[in-house]
């Protein structure tokens, strides 16, 4: 086969930079998280087509949320995905060309707010109870249910905060975690 | 949002691509069955031919067809796959939308290959599939399958019609989506109860889809940038794909190329967009493209890609493809831009609109040196095959070209004969080369040729329709021969018989140490002459170059049915030159003697 030690022409370097690909083999891949908002026709078929596009073309989905908007004929999907700039550009173009998508925005390139909701049920004992409540207080969690053995917390915030909260709760015998996935919105300037 | 079927809109369709509507169809709100609404909608859409096969779920449509005698012809195909390929051949030959009507379950699944083929090759077809009644959907009913689900990733769009009042609007939208933008297949799933239900029929005048935009003109600043890049380039090259054919831009492109003096190479689907007898024509590029076209790609400093998608069979190893070239990409499908090769200047728009805009912006260039260099490559490694008095596939194709002076609609199947046709036929006109490129569907040729012949008959063209296929692929849809015979189509069916799956055999010889695993067809091939005769066609056979010319002459004398010509050729013949899969375009195998590091 061919040697991989090609000397790149200036044009090849331009292409690699545009694709977000490493120019030297030891360059780290420039992948990052992206939050994409897609407005689609409010139908199951439209939703499935969007998700299907990701699987059919081998793109990643970290999380997806979907719900109606102020216009009942339009649904809003928040899709969290990972990729380098070439992959994300492809994702955006492939989404835009679907007949049922009305608007496609990559919020990552803009200023935006992002929230996730998490419900977390954890076992407590007499000894651990106060520590669990302390952690919850620090993260501004709210107790929404309590039984003799378990407590259920509600927590809102950016995904990293929820990651950190779950991390802190891990030693305490978590029974169940339900996360909503990221929802996001652009800030107005 | 939903179209109001009770509005007073008179369905007068405008635009040159759209047909006139029969006035009696405009009767506002006339009640009829869903099946009749479907047929009336097809009439209103200007459909002239439907390729179909009946079954339980669509029996009411066929019943209404029998009763009302609609203004289009229905061709009963013998297999639904043949029907979809016929619709593709019709669409590619005429530029109109092909129509397919099949039943639920197996009827729908049999169309899948044709739909996938149309999706890969941007062919406008609309496939109507029957479906079990809405109340039974999901119950594993007899002949039920989730046609929408199965076809989701191989259609441009699809519809399940749940209400008879949505039917006419859906048909309108389906044809609009199939025809406009980057063309493609649309599937419409029709539950039996919807076809039975009664509703008012009004064919809508316009479509209203907020999520569907069709690019037309390119942005002016991009065009100015492109014109400047062309001006500054020293070794520019047009790289032309199927988009130039789909947008009927052949003349415009030819004019711009001759005006600027920029040479043109075409993809498999671009063949015919630029006359291959022109001095600027470099013929096809890529895996089995010409040496000089691939050398030109590797050395040019500007590629002007026109409706092409940088397929892996064109680029080979991406990292080393066209290492010095800036890229201008004129493209209607945004998802093709910078997908494989970064476009320094991307112009989103209809190829024809963009070329019209570009024409007054470009000046003649002095490309003498560049063309001289290309001529050196042309002399270096011309297309050649052994001239030893034996019948060879390349010779058959040259004979067919000489017989027609290159003025024929040529449909190929998939394999070695397909590449030899691309190399040796020399296409001169747009829409005269029809093949399965993206999906590479064996069995495409025969039914697609039948569809193309129906199309030629419809537009009153006397261009002969020639199907070139291999012995492997021909058998895959040979059943449609009897359909072509029943309709007295004077098809010329050339079967290049090497008693092998030749292209696989070639790879086995080159890259798998001559282990010919399951590619020998000599035991299972039918007697092609008898096969033709059993299907009411004329069957002819040639084994020598003299017989080859004789039977071609004989076949051309047959005017009332298809004539099959079987050409028995050597099995060892290979398609050269060749860029091995995944290799760099600069590293071509030009003949058997080329040292081959891939074995």
CB contact (8 A) between residue A93 and residue B341: no
pLDDT for residue A26: 55
Whether residue A7 has pLDDT greater than 70? yes
Mean pLDDT of chain B: 93
In sign, the C-alpha dihedral spanning B92, B98, B101, B104 is positive
pLDDT for residue A23: 72
Tokens of B317: 């190893």
From the list A1, A9, A18, the residue facing B342 with the nearest CB is: A18
Rounded Cα distance, A134 and B117, in Å: 61
**Which pLDDT band holds residue B18 (cuts at 50, 70, 90)?**
very low
pLDDT digits 0-9 by tens, B564-581: 999 999 988 999 999 998
**Which pLDDT band holds residue B13 (cuts at 50, 70, 90)?**
very low
Nearest-Cα distance to chain B for A100, in Å, is 5
B102 DSSP β-pair partners: B129
List the 38-97 stretch of B: residues with Cβ below 8 A of A.
none
- Mean pLDDT for A12-30 is 73
Q: Which residue has the higher pLDDT, B78 or A6?
A: B78
Mean pLDDT of chain A: 90
Which chain B residues are closer than 8 Å to A15 by Cβ? 341-342
Give the residue on A whose Cα is nearest the Cα of B157: A99
- Mean pLDDT for B146-175 is 96
CB contact (8 A) between residue A6 and residue B325: no
Rounded Cα distance, B555 and A157, in Å: 77
Q: Which contacts of B222-228 are long-range, i.e. CB under 8 A and separated by 24 or more positions?
A: B222/B345, B222/B346, B222/B347, B223/B347, B223/B354, B223/B357, B223/B358, B223/B361, B224/B361, B225/B345, B226/B304, B226/B328, B226/B345, B226/B347, B226/B358, B226/B361, B227/B358, B227/B361, B227/B362
CB contact (8 A) between residue B153 and residue A56: yes
Asked whether this chain's domains B220-380 and B393-568 adopt the same fold, the reply is: yes
CATH code 3.30.70.260 for A30-109: yes
pLDDT for residue A24: 67
From the list A15, A98, A99, the residue facing B341 with the nearest CB is: A15
B328 contacts B229 by C-beta, under 8 angstroms: yes
Helical packing angle, A159-169 and A129-138, nearest 10°:
170
pLDDT digits 0-9 by tens, B31-75: 899 999 999 999 999 999 999 999 999 999 999 999 999 999 999
Q: Quick one: CATH architecture of B220-380? A: 3-Layer(aba) Sandwich (3.40)
DSSP per residue over B316-381, as a string?
Answer: SSGGGSSTT-EEEEEES-GGGTTSSS--SEEEES-HHHHHHHHGGG------HHHHHHHHHHHHHS
Cis peptide before B577, with omega less than 30 degrees from 0? yes
Helix (H) or strand (E) holding A113, with range, is strand A112-123
CB contact (8 A) between residue B334 and residue A97: yes
Nearest-Cα distance to chain A for B227, in Å, is 19
CB hemisphere CA count around B377 (13 angstroms): 19
Nearest-Cα distance to chain A for B336, in Å, is 8
* Interface check B583 vs A, CB under 8 A: yes
Nearest to B59 by CA among B98, B100, B104: B104
Report ipTM for this prediction.
0.85
pLDDT for residue A3: 43
Nearest-Cα distance to chain B for A13, in Å, is 10
**Which pLDDT band holds residue B400 (cuts at 50, 70, 90)?**
very high
- Please list, in sequence order, all residues whose beta carbon lies within 8 angstroms of the beta carbon of residue B96, skipping any fewer than 6 positions away: B48, B90, B124, B455
Q: Which residues of B does the annotation mark as catalytic?
A: 80, 142-143, 192, 503
A3-7, A64-68, B281-285: least confident range: A3-7
pLDDT for residue A30: 74
Whether residue B16 has pLDDT greater than 70? no
Helix (H) or strand (E) holding A132, with range, is helix A129-138
- Mean pLDDT for B379-389 is 91
Whether residue A57 has pLDDT greater than 50? yes
CB contact (8 A) between residue A99 and residue B212: yes
Whether residue B237 has pLDDT greater than 50? yes
From the list A14, A98, A101, the residue facing B342 with the nearest CB is: A14
Nearest-Cα distance to chain A for B395, in Å, is 34
Tokens of B442: 């064996």
- Residues from A contacting B (CB-CB < 8 Å) are 1-2, 6, 8-9, 11-12, 14-15, 18-19, 40-41, 45, 48-49, 52-53, 56, 73, 86, 89-90, 93-94, 96-102
- Mean pLDDT for A156-171 is 94
Whether residue B595 has pLDDT greater than 70? no
The structural domains of chain A, with segments of one domain joined by +, span: 30-109, 114-186
CB contact (8 A) between residue A56 and residue B160: no
Helix (H) or strand (E) holding B187, with range, is strand B185-191
Tokens of B299: 């050395």
Nearest-Cα distance to chain B for A64, in Å, is 20
pLDDT for residue B177: 97
Q: What is the DSSP letter of B578?
A: B
B522 contacts B515 by C-beta, under 8 angstroms: no
**Which pLDDT band holds residue B479 (cuts at 50, 70, 90)?**
very high
- Best of A5, A12, A20, A69 to mutate (most B CBs within 10 Å, chain B): A12
pLDDT digits 0-9 by tens, B550-569: 999 999 999 999 999 999 99
The structural domains of chain B, with segments of one domain joined by +, span: 23-201, 220-380, 393-568
* Interface check B324 vs A, CB under 8 A: yes
CB contact (8 A) between residue B211 and residue A86: no
From the list A45, A48, A99, the residue facing B211 with the nearest CB is: A99
Nearest to B334 by CA among A84, A82, A98, A55: A98
Whether residue B514 has pLDDT greater than 80? yes
A122 DSSP β-pair partners: A151, A174
- Best of A12, A99, A103 to mutate (most B CBs within 10 Å, chain B): A99
Locus of tokens 């039996």: B192
SS3 B277: coil
CB contact (8 A) between residue A93 and residue B334: yes
Query: How many degrees, rounded to 5, is the angle at CA A96 between CA A94 and CA A100?
Result: 110
Nearest to B520 by CA among B529, B509, B532, B533: B509
Rounded Cα distance, B26 and B201, in Å: 8
Whether residue B497 has pLDDT greater than 90? yes
CB contact (8 A) between residue A99 and residue B160: no
Beta strands in B217-277 (DSSP E): 236-240, 264-266
Q: What is the dihedral of CA A115, A121, A125, A126, to 10 degrees?
A: 50
CATH code 3.30.70.1430 for B23-201: no
Q: What is the assigned CATH class of domain A114-186? A: alpha beta
Q: Which residue has the higher pLDDT, B20 or B249?
A: B249
pLDDT for residue B4: 34
Rounded Cα distance, A105 and A43, in Å: 20
Rounded Cα distance, B83 and B22, in Å: 27
B569 contacts B497 by C-beta, under 8 angstroms: yes
Nearest to B322 by CA among B304, B297, B305: B297
- Please list, in sequence order, all residues whose beta carbon lies within 8 angstroms of the beta carbon of residue B111, skipping any fewer than 6 positions away: B80, B81, B83, B84, B100, B102, B127, B129
Whether residue B308 has pLDDT greater than 70? yes
Which chain B residues are closer than 8 Å to A101 by Cβ? 211
Strand-strand pairing, A183-186 and A112-123: antiparallel
Q: Quick one: CATH architecture of B393-568? A: 3-Layer(aba) Sandwich (3.40)
Q: What is the DSSP letter of B475?
A: H
pLDDT digits 0-9 by tens, B178-236: 999 999 999 999 999 999 999 999 999 999 999 999 999 999 999 999 999 999 999 99
CB contact (8 A) between residue B320 and residue A98: no
CB contact (8 A) between residue A12 and residue B323: yes
């Amino acid at each position: 086969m061919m040697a991989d030690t090609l000397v790149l022409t200036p044009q090849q370097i331009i292409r690699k930079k545009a694709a977000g690909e490493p120019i030297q083999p030891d360059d780290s891949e420039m992948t990052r998280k992206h939050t994409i908002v897609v407005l689609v026709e409010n139908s199951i078929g439209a939703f499935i087509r969007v998700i299907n596009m990701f699987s059919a073309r081998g793109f990643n989905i970290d999380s997806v949320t979907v719900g109606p908007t102020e216009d009942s004929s339009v649904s809003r999907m928040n899709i969290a995905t990972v990729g380098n700039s070439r992959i994300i550009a492809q994702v955006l173009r492939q989404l835009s060309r679907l007949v049922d998508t009305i608007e496609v925005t990559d919020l990552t390139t803009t200023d935006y707010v992002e929230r996730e909701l998490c419900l977390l049920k954890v076992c407590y004992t007499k000894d651990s109870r106060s520590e669990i409540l302390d952690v919850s207080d620090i993260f501004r969690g709210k107790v929404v249910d309590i039984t003799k053995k378990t407590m259920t917390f509600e927590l809102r915030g950016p995904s990293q905060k929820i990651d950190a909260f779950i991390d802190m709760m891990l030693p305490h015998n978590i029974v169940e975690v339900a996360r909503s996935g990221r929802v996001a919105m652009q800030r107005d300037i | 949002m939903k179209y109001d079927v009770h509005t007073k809109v008179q369905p007068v369709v405008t635009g040159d691509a759209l047909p006139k509507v029969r006035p009696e169809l405009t009767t506002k709100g006339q009640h009829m069955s869903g099946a009749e609404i479907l047929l009336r909608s097809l009439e209103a859409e200007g459909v002239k031919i439907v390729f179909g096969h009946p079954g339980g779920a669509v029996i009411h449509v066929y019943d209404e067809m029998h009763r009302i005698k609609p203004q289009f012809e229905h061709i009963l195909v013998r297999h639904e796959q043949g029907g979809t390929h016929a619709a593709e051949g019709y669409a590619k030959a005429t530029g109109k939308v092909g129509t397919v009507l099949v039943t639920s379950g197996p009827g729908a699944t049999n169309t899948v290959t044709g739909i996938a083929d149309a999706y890969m090759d941007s062919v406008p077809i609309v496939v109507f599939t029957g479906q079990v009644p809405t109340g039974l959907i999901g119950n594993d009913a007899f002949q039920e399958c989730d046609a929408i689900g199965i076809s989701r990733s191989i259609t441009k769009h699809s519809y399940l019609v749940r209400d008879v009042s949505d039917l006419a609007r859906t048909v309108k939208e389906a044809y609009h989506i199939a025809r406009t933008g980057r063309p493609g297949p649309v599937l419409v799933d029709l539950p039996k109860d919807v076809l039975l239900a009664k509703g008012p029929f009004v064919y809508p005048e316009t479509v209203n889809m907020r999520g569907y935009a069709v690019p037309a003109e390119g942005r002016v600043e991009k065009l100015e940038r492109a014109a400047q890049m062309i001006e500054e380039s020293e070794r520019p090259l047009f790289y032309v794909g199927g988009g130039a054919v789909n947008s009927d831009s052949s003349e415009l492109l030819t004019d711009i190329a001759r005006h600027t003096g920029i040479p043109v190479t075409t993809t498999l689907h671009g063949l015919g967009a630029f006359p291959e007898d022109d001095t600027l024509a470099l013929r096809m590029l890529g895996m089995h493209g010409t040496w000089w076209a691939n050398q030109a790609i590797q050395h040019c400093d500007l590629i002007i890609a026109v409706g092409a998608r940088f397929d892996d069979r064109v680029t080979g190893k991406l990292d080393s493809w066209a290492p010095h070239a800036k890229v201008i990409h004129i493209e209607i499908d945004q998802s093709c831009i910078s997908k494989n090769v970064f476009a320094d200047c991307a112009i989103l728009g209809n190829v024809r609109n963009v070329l019209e805009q570009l024409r007054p912006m470009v000046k003649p260039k002095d490309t003498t040196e560049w063309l001289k260099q290309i001529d050196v490559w042309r002399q270096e490694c011309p297309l050649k095959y052994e001239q030893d008095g034996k019948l060879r596939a390349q010779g058959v194709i040259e004979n067919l070209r000489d017989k027609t002076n290159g003025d024929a609609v040529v449909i190929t199947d998939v394999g070695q004969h397909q590449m030899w046709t691309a190399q040796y036929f020399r296409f001169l006109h747009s829409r005269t080369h029809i093949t399965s490129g993206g999906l590479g569907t064996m069995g495409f040729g025969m039914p697609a040729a039948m569809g193309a012949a129906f199309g030629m008959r419809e537009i009153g063209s006397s261009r002969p329709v020639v199907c070139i296929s291999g012995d492997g692929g021909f058998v895959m849809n040979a059943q449609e021969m009897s359909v072509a015979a029943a309709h007295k189509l004077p098809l010329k069916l050339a079967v290049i018989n090497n008693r092998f799956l030749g292209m696989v055999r070639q790879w086995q010889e080159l890259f798998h140490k001559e282990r010919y695993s399951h590619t020998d067809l000599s035991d299972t091939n039918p007697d092609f002459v008898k096969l033709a005769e059993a299907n009411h066609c004329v069957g002819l056979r040639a084994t020598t170059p003299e017989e080859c010319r004789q039977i071609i002459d004989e076949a051309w004398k047959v005017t009332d049915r298809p004539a099959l010509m079987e050409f028995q050729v050597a099995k060892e013949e290979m398609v050269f030159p060749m860029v091995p899969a995944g290799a760099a375009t600069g590293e071509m195998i030009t003949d058997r003697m080329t040292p081959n590091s891939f074995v």
